[in-house]
Amino acid sequence: MKSRTTGAIALAVTAILMAVTNPGKQSYIEEISWRVKDTSCQKEQLPVGATLACSTIAPLPHGAIEPILDGYSRRRNYIFFSIYTTDFWGLKNRSIGVGRNFFEF
């Protein structure tokens, strides 16, 4: 009986921590602005639309890219984690946000 109670408490604490550390959209926009400019635009073979997008945002500072990407990004909040999707002129990104971190998939 004691192990069930301990397990339930551990599960509850984990769920609360996951809910509290679920990153918001602004954190994702900051992360994706760096990722798009520094990683996605550095790939050699990009679709035509992505090449145009990269040539548009490459000279801009990261702070100027964030409002642009905000309009092309969507968040699905599942309380314990969030799924983020960005489709900016052929530059596509899907990430899961959990524990204040983002993992691309």
Condensed to tens digits (0 to 9), the pLDDT of residues 62-100 reads 788 888 889 999 999 998 899 999 988 777 889 999 888
- What residue segments make up the domains of the chain, in order of their start? 2-104
Supply φ then ψ for residue 77, to 5 degrees.
Answer: -95, 125
Average pLDDT over the chain, rounded to an integer: 85
Residue 1 has pLDDT above 70, yes or no: no
CB atoms within 10 A of CB 9: 10
Q: Is 38 helix (H, G, I), strand (E, B) or coil?
A: helix
**In angstroms, how far is the first alpha carbon of the chain from the final one?**
40
pTM: predicted TM-score of the whole model, two decimal places: 0.80
pLDDT above 90 covers what percent of the chain? 24
Nearest partner of 102 among 77, 82, 75, judged by Cα: 82
Alpha-helix runs per DSSP H in the chain: 2-20, 25-38, 48-57, 62-71
